[in-house]
Amino acid sequence: MDTLNLYEAKTQLSQLVDRAANGEEIIIAKAGKPMARLMPLAKPVREVKFGTLAGKVWWVGDNFDDPLPDDLLAAFNGESR
């Protein structure tokens, strides 16, 4: 991780952005005191496409929507019985 003075960062901004985009973190200091961090953006989250399993689920049990048994429901709630 490099630390650059503000003046140096201004004169090299394009190169610093390229370095950050490649995964490097750069600290920008003013009068020797760290003031900001230049770092890459987080990877974009992949968009969810609904309907991708359409036609692939062949059977759903008749009891799919039935309430859970008390012991299983208690386990989901962190209770012990």
pLDDT at 46: 84
Full-model pTM: 0.51
* Residue 62 belongs to a domain: no
Provide the domain limits for residue 27: 2-38
* Residue 71 belongs to a domain: no
Q: What is the pLDDT along the chain (81 residues), one digit of tens a residue?
A: 889 999 999 999 999 999 999 999 999 999 999 999 999 998 878 888 888 888 887 788 898 899 999 999 999 988 876
pLDDT at 10: 94
Rounded Cα distance between 20 and 40, Å, is 5
Query: Cβ–Cβ contacts within 10 Å for residue 16, how many?
Result: 19
CATH label of the domain that carries residue 16: 3.40.1620
pLDDT at 81: 65
* Residue 13 belongs to a domain: yes
Cα angle, residue 19 at apex, residues 5 and 32 outer, rounded to 5°: 15
Q: What is the total count of domains within the chain?
A: 1
